[in-house]
Amino acid sequence: MKNLLSLAILFFSLSLFAQYEYPEKKNADIVLQSTLAVQLLNDDDAFGKSANAAVQQIFEENWKLTEVVFLSKTEIEKLKASKDSKYAYLTHDEGLLKETRMNHISTDPNSTTFGRSFGMGVNAPTKSISYQRVAFTFAYYSYNLEIIGTKKKPESVTQIGFANGELSKIDYLFLCQQLTHLIDSAAKEVPQKEYYSIERNIEKNQNSQLILPKAFFKDKDLEKMNSYYEYDFELVDVEKYQNVILNKEKGKTYVKIIWSHQHSMYLWTVVDAEDGAIIAQTGFGGVKFGKNHKANEIIKAKHLKYITSKMAQKVNSRYK
Q: What is the pLDDT of residues 294-312, one digit of tens each?
A: 555 567 888 899 999 988 8
User: Rounded CA gap, 250 and 320, in Å?
Assistant: 30
Q: Which pLDDT does position 166 carry in this prediction?
A: 81
Answer yes or no: are the C-beta atoms of 137 and 96 closer than 8 Å. yes
Domain positions in the chain: 2-96+138-316, 97-137
Q: Which pLDDT does position 282 carry in this prediction?
A: 83
Between 289 and 308, residue with greater pLDDT: 308
Residue type, 237: D
What is the value of pTM for the model shown? Answer: 0.80
Of the ranges 50-54, 94-98, 184-188, 282-286, which one carries the lowest mean pLDDT score? 94-98
Q: Which residues pair with 99 in a beta bridge?
A: 136
User: Rounded CA gap, 160 and 158, in Å?
Assistant: 7
Q: What is the pLDDT of residues 64-117, one digit of tens each?
A: 999 999 999 999 999 999 999 999 999 998 544 444 445 556 566 665 555 555
Answer yes or no: are the C-beta atoms of 162 and 171 closer than 8 Å. yes
Answer yes or no: are the C-beta atoms of 259 and 236 closer than 8 Å. no
Q: What is the 3-state secondary structure (H, E, C) of 222-278?
A: HCCHHHHCCCCEEEECHHHHHHHHHCCCCCEEEEEEEEECCCCEEEEEEEECCCCCE
Q: Which pLDDT does position 238 carry in this prediction?
A: 93
